[in-house]
Amino acid sequence: MEELKVAHISTGDLLREAVKTQSDLGKKAKEFMDAGKLVPDDLVIALIREKISSMEGGFLLDGFPRTIEQAKKLEEISEIDTVINLEVDEDILVDRLTKRRSCNDCGGVYHLLFNPPKEDGRCDNCGGELYQRSDDTEATVKERLRTYRKSTLPLVEYYGSKGKILNINGDKDINEVFNSIMKAIQPMM
């Protein structure tokens, strides 16, 4: 991530890449992702373990851990400084995700209303084709939210009890949320 000079590791991006290249991991992960469910812990932990072991310097984990089991395994792999918990109203989330468009080539992310591309269907950065993620339909987003409440929400308590969580109001616009995060992590830099 440019602003923090740390690597950005997104398990969602890594899994989508695995699906695209039809690797063994991708073939196993696809059905869970399309259904709005979590990919099994052992697969995601192995992916993160491999990624972190080849890493020098700091990193930002995006979308990991998503279960208590993943959090416990992460502790065996590496010590983390803090957890950023973005709190967003569910109706706002459904609107953000169903109107999200992603670039097939560079991974750039747009929103049809709040951050539209200059040219319809084309990425501003690289001219790549924009597409809607197959799990960004309303039905799958709602299932992903159910999965979140059941499997991921307990992590708020887990990291809260360790004094490791920064709760950030994510309802605001992109710049305001970004500034709130930067301000909250300032003491650690």
Binding residues for ligand AMP, rule: CB under 6 A, are 11-12, 15, 32-33, 37-39, 44, 63-66, 70, 135, 144
Q: Which is nearer to ligand AMP, 134 or 169 (CB)?
A: 134
Beta strands in 115-155 (DSSP E): 130-131
Q: Could you give the CA distance from residue 188 to residue 10 in angstroms, rounded to a whole number?
A: 22
Tokens at residue 176, please?
């305001």
Q: Which is nearer to ligand AMP, 119 or 174 (CB)?
A: 174
Q: Which is nearer to ligand AMP, 36 or 123 (CB)?
A: 36
Question: Between β-strands 109-111 and 100-103, what pairing exists: parallel, antiparallel or unpaired?
Answer: antiparallel
Q: How far is the CB of 11 from ligand AMP (least distance, A)?
A: 3
Query: Among positive and negative, which fits the CA dihedral 90, 113, 166, 150?
Result: positive
Q: How far is the CB of 19 from ligand AMP (least distance, A)?
A: 9
Q: Which is nearer to ligand AMP, 17 or 124 (CB)?
A: 17
Give phi and psi for 51, each to the nearest 5. Answer: -65, -45
Q: How far is the CB of 186 from ligand AMP (least distance, A)?
A: 26
Q: How far is the CB of 39 from ligand AMP (least distance, A)?
A: 4
Q: How far is the CB of 135 from ligand AMP (least distance, A)?
A: 6
* Sequence-distant (≥ 6) Cβ neighbours of residue 50 within 8 angstroms: none
Running DSSP on this structure, what letter comes out for residue 17? H
Q: Could you give the CA distance from residue 26 to residue 33 in angstroms, rounded to a whole number?
A: 10
Q: How far is the CB of 69 from ligand AMP (least distance, A)?
A: 10
Q: Which is nearer to ligand AMP, 1 or 127 (CB)?
A: 1
Q: Could you give the CA distance from residue 143 to residue 85 in angstroms, rounded to a whole number?
A: 20
Q: Which is nearer to ligand AMP, 100 or 123 (CB)?
A: 100
* Sequence-distant (≥ 6) Cβ neighbours of residue 61 within 8 angstroms: 9, 11, 48, 74, 80
